[in-house]
Structure 1
């Protein structure tokens, strides 16, 4: 009897244990939380797990994808040209000061770079590359040489447009320089120190830089700053993004030695396009005018005007009678803090926006007057 009872107990215990195992195993067959489809059409199911997860030290971050700029370089290089500006029969000391080069042949001049802007032979470069030149020669990446005509210049932004008699030339897609951000990869392509088709890489370091290198009081300076290596000869060449789209025109370096020291500057393409299109269409840049003298807000301005909660903006120092600003009601000591809803921090930002506008355009200026924010519509002249 005792044997039977023990045997029955054992059998019952085994059945209970088996039932528990079946229950536990069955409970892992969960309904999927989501079904995912991969790019190649395969499906995968994601399940929710209620089991506690043992946590130790944080996992190391996954390695970032390698930056590969070879495609951008391949796209860009064919659209870059070498520009050789020659001056004949001028005062040698003057020309050497302008171009930094003198040759034994009796010809003086300078070298730079350029970028093909359109398939029919329009080329963009810097004004200072071809300034005062009697003859401009352009060499393409496949070593074809052309005599170039100067279509027009805009010294106040250091831009020039050349034309060569050629067609079906490679040119670059334009980027949107407003979308450029510090930290993004860029390439500078050109002929530094006479080395043609040279590619250097870096990142955008800052935007809206003013260097006061253009002498005119109403010059447009709002450079993209990068750390891509740029040297004499790079001037006028393209700055491109990681996809090979034209982001700007390399123009200057900040250096005590005349060679690259980590800071290079490019004219943003949105401004370049506005100026170059006018030069191609009309022969010159038709610039819109606001009719004011302006400066970046300073600490002394803030104290003098008793401004509250304001540390950025552009102050109106003078308004010219009969000009667009005067007709629109702008006053001295108005603080411009926005244009068409875009915040304005300093002078280069505002001068670039005005430079990209056309005569007759209406801009909605956000201003602060007597510590009160208001909008003032201005029809540019």
Structure 2
């Protein structure tokens, strides 16, 4: 059964209408005021790239002191992580905190941001209500160019069982599913708001549904983002790390490259195929440049959840799947904040 000409025409009109809004060509319409106000509280985030990993995302300003929330990704490991405000001003950013369960990260820039989303005022999404998704798919906007707007409908609020390529991704929390195309590189970290401008949540990273191997358009609810910002989720999960069974060659200090010095026989690392003298390049979405990076990445893993490890062995690169085992207790260090 094919859609009628009326449905096709209506779809094209809505698409064209929303495109005009996002490019500022239509000033007096239903969504332009909400879009302009919300877009001013969003940012573009640029970091490093590795292989097929995209080095960019969107972000939401969530405090007057330069705090920004975005989606997890390897680009956050860049030493030159940058945030671009809607004015075109560029600032270096620091990663303050990560949460693998929600796939989110908290950044901070050394700049006052009086125009921000107050997550305490976020509202609970309701199925069938309209939602505006603001992001930067495929990095179409640069500098002070406006981000893109997608108009969609909330379909349901549910828990997800998702994966990212061959790697399972933990998401043991509620998610807002949206009938809107947001599962594209660059959209993640953007804002999801109601047509009245109330915050619903943050657009999630590109994920796939295990059942159909299709990408999911979803957002992390505002209440969970607020809990993460307040440190409540981190406090519930701290002091946990896992065992994978390798020891790094760190005689030169923890800032040395993460070369493997020893692999425990029968350990998860041994079973995955890791070997002595392998150089660890990344673990999951986290780029590993030093032994310190490795230490932090291990604390993001969870028992029994498969993760991909990218290594360099002589002149070749290999991706290996590893499943961490028993949990050990260890104090967790939080990333340093700005003064």
TM range (shorter): 0.5 to 0.7
Pairing partner for 1:226 from 178, 184, 207: 178
CA distance in 2, matches of 1:152, 1:254: 21
SS at match of 1:220: coil
Q: Which residue of 2 aligns with 1:250?
A: 203
Q: Which residue of 2 aligns with 1:379?
A: none
- Is 1:141 aligned to residue 86 of structure 2? yes
Query: Does the CA contact (< 8 Å) of 1:129 and 1:235 recur in 2?
Result: no
| Closer/same/farther in 2, CA of residues 211 and 68 from structure 1, 3 Å limit | farther
Pairing partner for 1:286 from 209, 226, 235: 235
SS at match of 2:152: strand
Pairing partner for 1:264 from 217, 235, 249: 217
| Closer/same/farther in 2, CA of residues 278 and 237 from structure 1, 3 Å limit | same
5+ residue gaps, structure 1, are 1-66, 88-94, 101-109, 290-381
CA distance in 2, matches of 1:175, 1:183: 23
Which is greater in Rg? Answer: 1
SS at match of 1:135: coil
Query: Does the CA contact (< 8 Å) of 1:237 and 1:250 recur in 2?
Result: yes
> Relative contact order, CA 8 A, sep 6+: which one is greater?
2
Query: Does the CA contact (< 8 Å) of 2:102 and 2:170 recur in 1?
Result: no
Which residues in structure 2 correspond to 1:366-377 (within 5 Å)? none
Q: Which residue of 2 aligns with 1:84?
A: 46
Aligned residues: 198
Q: Which residue of 1 aligns with 2:190?
A: 237
Pairing partner for 2:56 from 108, 111, 114: 111
Pairing partner for 2:51 from 92, 96, 102: 96
Pairing partner for 1:166 from 96, 111, 120: 111
SS at match of 1:183: coil
| Closer/same/farther in 2, CA of residues 188 and 202 from structure 1, 3 Å limit | same
Which is richer in helix?
1
- RMSD over equivalenced CA pairs, Å: 2.8
5+ residue gaps, structure 2, are 1-28, 142-146, 239-339
Q: Which residue of 2 aligns with 1:199?
A: 149
SS at match of 1:96: coil
CA distance in 1, matches of 2:121, 2:74: 25
SS at match of 1:86: coil
Q: Which residue of 2 aligns with 1:277?
A: 230
Query: Does the CA contact (< 8 Å) of 1:84 and 1:138 recur in 2?
Result: yes
Query: Does the CA contact (< 8 Å) of 1:172 and 1:244 recur in 2?
Result: no
Query: Does the CA contact (< 8 Å) of 1:114 and 1:238 recur in 2?
Result: yes
Pairing partner for 1:152 from 84, 97, 103: 97
